[in-house]
Amino acid sequence: MKAFFYILTMVLFLSCIETPKESSCIFKLPQKAVYAKAIKYRGGKFKMLFAFDSLSFDTSKDYFEFMTGGYLQVIVDTVNIYINSQITILEMGKKEFTIDIVSDSIFSNTYFQENKWKIPYTFISIDTKLFDVIVNGETVKAGDIYGGW
C-alpha cells in the first residue's frame, strides 16, 4: 500500500513540473533595421515573426506559421519577405512587411547568383527539426538532436 501511495505521489509531483511550450531565437538582420524571431512550439508548429524593433514582437502582426519538419528558406530586404515555396504556410499576417511565397525556381534565379544570395538581400535558413538558424551563412542558433528543447 505504501508503494502505491509513493507512486501516486510521484506521478502527481511530476505532472506539476512545467515543461517549456516553446523555444525561440531573436536576431537582428545584418545591415537592416529589421528583427526576426523564430519560435518552435511543442506539437509541431513553427512561427517566424518580423518587426522593426526587438521589443514589439508581442504585438507583431507580421508573421507566418507552418509545421516543423522541413527546411525554411527566406529572403528579406527592407520590407519585403520572400519564402521559398518548399514549405506549406498554415497562417500568415501582414501589416508592415510584404510577405510573398515564391516558387523554388524564382527563389533560386531571382535572389541567388552562383549559389550565393545577392546583395542587398538577407538569406535566412532554418532546419526546423534541429532548430538551426543560419543568417547569411553565419550560425545564429546552433540546433541539437533534441530540436532546441
Model pLDDT, residue 87: 87
Residue 12 binned pLDDT confidence (cut-offs 50, 70, 90): very low
- Which residue range is the domain that position 94 belongs to? 23-141
The CB-side HSE value for 114 (13 A sphere, CA atoms) comes to: 1
In a domain, residue 18? The reply is no
Domain contains 30: yes
Total number of domains constituting the chain: 1
DSSP secondary-structure letter at 56?
-
Q: Does the residue 60 lie in any domain?
A: yes
How far apart, in Å, are the Cα atoms of 114 and each of 55, 92, 102, 104, 118? 37, 31, 19, 15, 9
Model pLDDT for residues 124-140, shown as the tens digit of each residue: 999 988 999 999 999 99
What is the pLDDT, as a whole number, of residue 56?
80
The predicted structure's pLDDT at residue 1 = 66
Q: What is the pLDDT of residue 78?
A: 87
pLDDT tens digits for range 68-122: 888 999 999 989 999 998 888 999 999 999 999 999 999 999 999 998 999 999 9
Max Cα distance, the chain (Å): 71
Per the domain annotation, does 57 fall within a domain?
A: yes
**How do residues 39-83 score in pLDDT, each as one tens digit?**
999 888 999 999 998 888 877 789 999 998 889 999 999 899 999
Q: Give the pLDDT score at 8.
A: 47
For residue 3, tell me if it sits in a domain.
no
- pLDDT of 90 reads 92
Whether 2 maps to a domain, the answer reads no
Residue 149: pLDDT band (50, 70, 90) is low
